Amino acid sequence: MLYMERPMVRRMNFENFLVGDERDFKGRTLNDIRSYTDHEIEHVHDFIQIVFPLNEESRASFHGYYLRHDLLVEQISSNELAKTNIVKSAEWFLKFLERNSNWKAAYNHNHLRITRIIKCLRLLVSDQEADKFYNDVLHLLGHHNKINEVTLDYWKNA
């Protein structure tokens, strides 16, 4: 298994975390995170990169965990339970968006999270799941939204 490590930070195996067999670098399980209140989802900023990992480093995160190796991307994208859990996590986040409207603004940090989720689904699960999440987000927006065109283009091209 391939591990990510930073000095003074707990080791973490993404595949094991995503299937529920291991805790993240802060000792949280996937279910712990998916039990967050809306306030926690809005204000805790280090979970999104763990629940929806990408093969690129995040500029918004200090912890430095990401899918550094193609082999790790291949392992996760071949693991049906990991993929199922990523889809469930996307549905969980979509429900958060349904319950809240503050993200329907010109600029909001959840826009970056939405982009990340679309990219993660496309990288690790399927184009169909990524497109479904994208379309579900657009449906939540409706016709009267204040999302800027740059953000909409990011989502479309993610």
Q: What is the DSSP string of 21-71?
A: SS--TTS--HHHHHT--HHHHHH--SSHHHHS--SS--SS-SS-----SHH
3-state DSSP helix/strand/coil percent for the chain, to nearest 5? 55, 0, 40
Mean pLDDT of 17-41: 96
How many CB atoms within 10 Å of residue 116? 21
pLDDT value at 6 more than 70: no
Q: What is the pLDDT of residues 38-53, one digit of tens each?
A: 999 999 999 999 999 9
- Please give the pLDDT value at position 68: 87
Q: What is the pLDDT of residues 74-111, one digit of tens each?
A: 999 999 999 999 999 999 999 999 999 999 999 999 99
Please enumerate in sequence order all residues whose Cβ is within 8 A of that of 78, keeping only pairs 6 or more positions apart, or say none. none
CB of 88 closer than 8 Å to CB of 30: no
